[in-house]
Amino acid sequence: MNVLIKSATIIDSKSDFHNQSVDILIEKGIIANIAPTIKNPNDYKEITLDNLHVSQGWFDSSVSFGEPGYEERETIANGLKTAAFSGFTAVILNANSNPVIDSFADISLVKAKSQNHAVSLYPIGALTKGGLGENMAELFDMSQAGAVAFYDYQKPIENPNLMKIALQYASNFEGLIMAFPQESRISRSGVMNEHISSTRLGLKGNPALAEELQIARDLFLLEYTGGKLHIPTISTEKSVSLIREAKKKKLNVTCSVAIHNLYFTDDALSTFNTNFKVLPAIRTESDVNELINGLKDGTIDMVTSDHNPIDIEHKKVEFDHAKYGTIGLESAFGALQTLFTTKKTVDILTKGKQRFGIEPNTISVGEKANLSLFNPNETYTFNKTHITSTSKNAIFEGSELKGKVYGVIANNKVILK
């Protein structure tokens, strides 16, 4: 793949060309030259786009595609195309398929299906067999096949001894354990944040306490085992402070937050739109403000779209019966841009790779081209025409967003809308 990018502003604080408008020559997938003007004697394909900005390739630490078993929601091929059109060059795939990804063969299968795509897919293996929370899966075998972490997606491990043993066992091969932050005996059948809004709407509440108790328990276990823990998608003010204190103790813990938990409050559920039925729940303004503060001070390590396609049959039903989840890849950049500067947004979208053993890249001569292409200034109302996913359960539908993604250049491929 040979291509010449014309007049692109580089947003990469680790690059010598940060904030400069330059041409970028890419030959056989490698950045061959960066300069104010580059001639094109070999008649390579030229990319010239309005207000073009280029950054390191973006990363998402939590996506679900459905395949195998739920192809009507999303296939791996279409999911990776969606990720590319949304500016992502690397995604972590959750194990919530049917069957659950819990073996060497399962990891090998999804890796094989992701070959020859611009977007790199890194699979998570289930922490327990079948994702049932009862018996630990073959973690080491899955790590040998390429699993980057172990997690029963959105399912808490109720047995503390099982979590303790998993943290201890995975330490033998530097395995990363992920623990969903919810005490299910407290959350029970709650479908939204337990607050004045849930009372007003007559919906069962899922209290912040359920998340915070589980995090406190898992941090105590981590302190005991000395393992390696990642807590995905925290959502409450107290959760931020718990993890902040754990980091002060030098515990090996990281965490993420879903973009929609930074953007919406539980007041948004007043229309009973099931696209807002997500896990963890959308919380209060106080929670949102502290999550943003935690992101700014480094307590929260990364932001995820938590992209989770759900078919219409499981979303266009009464709120109590709808499945949890929203798609989020297509709206991720635009939503973050409404909250942060372009530089901060790019910083957020490129953080977290090393936690999963993925080497970061820079925009420099001699480096592999791993780039996201975008226009940070275009504003629009997000609607179904912006959705590439097979499923359309978008929490951001109708929201005013800022920033247009053009596509990616990665793995020796150019993918543009």
- H helix or E strand, kind and range, residue 11: strand 3-11
Tell me how far apart the alpha carbons of residues 366 and 1 are, in angstroms, rounded to a whole number: 15
Helix 208-225 to helix 160-170 angle (10° resolution) is: 40
Strands 120-123, 88-93: pairing is parallel
Paired tokens of 71: 């192809």
Give 249: exposed, middle or buried? Use CB within 10 Å, 0-12, 13-18, 19+. Answer: exposed
Tell me how far apart the alpha carbons of residues 126 and 119 are, in angstroms, rounded to a whole number: 22
Active site residue 23: no
CA distance readout (Å), 325 to 65, 275, 312: 12, 7, 12
What single string gives the DSSP state of each residue in 250-295?
A: T-SEEEEEEHHHHH--GGGGGG--GGG--SSPP--HHHHHHHHHHH
The values of phi and psi at residue 149, to 5°, are -170, 175
Tell me how far apart the alpha carbons of residues 359 and 385 are, in angstroms, rounded to a whole number: 34
Query: Exposure pattern of 32-63 as b/e (b: 16+ CB <10 Å)?
Result: bebeeebeeeeeeeebebeebbbbbbbbbbbb
Residues 6 or more apart from 66 whose CB is under 8 A from it? 72, 73, 74, 75, 79, 97, 309
Q: E strands along 282-384, which residues?
A: 302-304, 371-381
The gap between the terminal CA atoms of the chain, to the nearest Å, is 18
CA distance readout (Å), 243 to 157, 239, 299: 18, 6, 7
DSSP single-letter state for residue 246: H
Paired tokens of 412: 């020796």
Pick the catalytic residue from 141, 306, 311, 320: 306
Residues identified as active-site = 306
